[in-house]
Structures are given as C-alpha cells and as structure tokens.
C-alpha cells in the first residue's frame, strides 16, 4: 500500500454526526442545547487539531501470533479535555467501582476478540497495537470518537444521550475506524466517507452479535441501541435493517438515512453526508448477511474484511467500486455460487450498479 497517497493520514471520526448535534443545539431545552453546542465546539477543536498533527500511520498487516492477547489501558479525563488522562485500569487488572471504566475495558476486549477469532487480526493494526481509551471526557459531552490514536467516550447529557460506553457497538464502531485507517484508509468525504462509516457500522454490529452469540436473523442490526435516554422517541442512532427508522423525535428530528440510491442525499454537511448515506451500503450488508444466514461475521463479514484489507481499493472509491470489490472477493473466496449471487443481489436491491 502506498503510504504517501492522498487520504493516508488518520481522520477524526465521531459516532454522533454534526447534523444531529446542530439540531440539538437549537433545542428549546437549554440543558440539551447547551450540551450540544459544547460538544460541537469541542469536536471542531479536536478535528482541527487532527488536521494539523495527523501523519500517515498505515502499516502492513502481519499474521497473528497464536497467543495474541489485547493490551488495554483505560484513562479517566475527569471531565476535562486533556488526553489521555489518568490511568485507571490496565490490562489484566480486576474491575473497579466505575462501571464506565469496566464497560470500556470490556468493549475494547470484545472488539479485539472479534477481529482475532473472526479474521486472525492481531489488534486494529494487525500487529498487536495497544488499545487506549479515555472515559469521562469533558462535561456532558455527547459523543465518542477515534482520533487516530485512541478511543474517547463522553458521559452524555443525560437528556438525549446516556453514557457512550453503554452500547458495545459504539466502541467497536470507533475502533473499526482504526482498522480502516491501517488498511483501506478510505477518504472521509462523499461516498468513500460513507463507506468508511458503513464499514465501522458493519463491524460494530458484528462485535455486538459475536458478544451476544447471535446469528444474523437474531440480531437487531441497530447501531447505538441503549444510548438514547428514556423519553426520546427512538431506539438507536442508526438501523442497518431499516435505515431511516432509528428515531423520530420532536427534539432529535427524524432519522435521515436512505436505504436506496434513489434517495441518496446530496449535501455539503457532514463531509458530504458520510453518516447519512452510509445507510445504503449498511442495508446492502444486512441483506447479504440475512440471506446467507448463520453468523454474519463468517461469510458476509469475511467478504467485507477481504475487501477492506485487500489493498485494492482507491481511497476515494465509490459505492459501485466497493460493490464490485465485494463481488470479486466473494467469487475469489467462495466461488460463483450462493455467496457470490447473494452479494450481487444485495447491491442490486439498494440500487448500486454491479456491472
């Protein structure tokens, strides 16, 4: 992989998109609006800092060691913004009284376990990279992010968002941005940015399913289930099964994700709608996984992983480019049988050309 090509620097990726925080910043409830404005300002400061300090970090993947184990360190920002903060739990230490710390530690472990057991990948870089997380970031911070080096979790405002360590798929989503950074390194704008977000949703959901022992038909295919506070009219941040249905709330608004290219959203917001249009490839993966059945991490997940790590994607690839790559990888690994036909059909059903 060419480390000097455009897009090879790590990007700042958040689970809650800016368009959602923009809406919350205009809420009538001053507690909700104030927390959203503070989160937006902090996100912008962090994003600017990443743009000025980011460097190429893509490294080749190496085969896992037979005895590979995670190397986790959890820090506490104590509601400040200095990273990484004070170390509160290291690898192998027993759980403490802080449930947030314990959930972060477990979530990092669950993500490591899925990539190791599912794809023989030793940590997110394939080379045993230590997993670092910071909890209790800022005051009422309504987001979680990957900054190119580590995971960071806010406590939420308690009005709209709860603690961001509650859903394991949120943690896995953000860590998968790290996997993408070290592999395909998809540029974070337009369709390649939506694919970047979608890949994180895919493996975030697979980590949740792996942790719960679920098959594709047993999974809820929700991203961030349990994150929304009681009283919010919604079940999660996104739905891979039914994009556009995750929430419909007076304060949050309605989930804007499309499930088909006919409804693709052209916008300059959110780097070209990376969190919105990701619903299209998300739905394609859901259709594939449920059609194939069994554990989604196996055939469906393996195809996506093969594409992500194959070194053949352009950093600015389109949905059609990615679809073709998944079709090719399905044929390469499984032949031109059931899996190959299911991939073609899944992309066709969401309106992405496969010719």
Please list the active-site residues. Answer: 174, 275
> Which residues make Cβ contacts (< 8 Å) with residue 203, sequence separation at least 6?
114, 115, 172, 173, 176, 179, 301, 304
Distance CA 241, CA 220 (A): 8
Closest CA relative to residue 310, chosen from 67, 119, 146: 119
Distance CA 30, CA 24 (A): 10
Q: Which two tokens stand for residue 63?
A: 């085969």
CA 272 to each of CA 103, 254, 339: distance values in angstroms, whole numbers, following the listed order: 33, 19, 32
Distance CA 304, CA 205 (A): 13
Q: Which two tokens stand for residue 313?
A: 């994607």
Distance CA 70, CA 335 (A): 34
Distance CA 244, CA 287 (A): 16
Q: Which two tokens stand for residue 20?
A: 């959602």
Distance CA 309, CA 183 (A): 5
User: What angle do the packed helices 299-309 and 338-349 form, to 10 degrees?
Assistant: 80
Closest CA relative to residue 199, chosen from 182, 216, 219: 182
**Distance, first Cα to last Cα, the chain:** 26
Q: How far is CA 69 from the centre of its chain?
A: 22
Longest dimension (CA), the chain: 57
Q: Which two tokens stand for residue 215?
A: 């098959």
| Three-state SS at 191 | helix
Phi-psi region of 224 (alpha: psi -120 to 50; beta: other; left: phi over 0): left
Q: How far is CA 175 from the centre of its chain?
A: 7
């Amino acid at each position: 992989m060419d480390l000097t090509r455009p897009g090879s620097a790590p990007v700042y990726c958040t689970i809650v998109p800016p368009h959602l925080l923009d809406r919350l910043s205009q809420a009538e409830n001053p507690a909700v609006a104030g927390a959203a404005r503070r989160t937006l300002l902090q996100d912008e400061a962090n994003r600017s800092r990443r743009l000025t300090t980011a460097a190429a970090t893509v490294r080749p993947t190496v085969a896992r060691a037979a005895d590979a184990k995670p190397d986790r360190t959890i820090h506490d920002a104590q509601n400040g913004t200095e990273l990484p903060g004070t170390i509160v739990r290291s690898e192998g230490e027993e759980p403490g009284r802080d449930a947030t710390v314990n959930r972060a530690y477990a979530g990092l472990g669950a993500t490591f376990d899925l990539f190791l057991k599912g794809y023989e990948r030793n940590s997110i870089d394939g080379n045993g990279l230590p997993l670092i997380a910071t909890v209790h970031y800022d005051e009422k911070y309504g987001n979680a992010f990957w900054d190119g080096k580590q995971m960071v979790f806010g406590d939420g405002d308690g009005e709209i968002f709860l603690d961001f360590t509650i859903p394991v798929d949120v943690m896995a989503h953000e860590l998968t941005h790290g996997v993408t950074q070290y592999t395909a390194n998809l540029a974070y704008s337009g369709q390649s940015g939506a694919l970047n977000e979608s890949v994180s949703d895919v493996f975030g959901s697979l980590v949740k399913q792996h942790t719960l022992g679920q098959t594709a038909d047993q999974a809820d295919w929700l991203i961030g289930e349990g994150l929304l506070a009681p009283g919010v009219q919604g079940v999660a941040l996104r739905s891979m099964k039914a994009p556009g249905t995750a929430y419909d709330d007076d304060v949050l608004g309605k989930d804007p994700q499309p499930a088909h290219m006919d409804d693709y959203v052209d916008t300059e917001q959110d780097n070209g709608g990376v969190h919105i249009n990701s619903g299209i490839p998300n739905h394609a993966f859901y259709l594939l996984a449920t059609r194939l059945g069994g554990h989604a991490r196996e055939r469906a997940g393996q195809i996506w992983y093969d594409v992500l790590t194959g070194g053949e994607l352009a950093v600015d690839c389109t949905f059609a480019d990615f679809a073709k790559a998944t079709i090719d990888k399905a044929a390469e690994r499984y032949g031109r049988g059931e899996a190959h036909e299911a991939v073609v059909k899944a992309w066709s059903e969401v309106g992405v050309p496969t010719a």
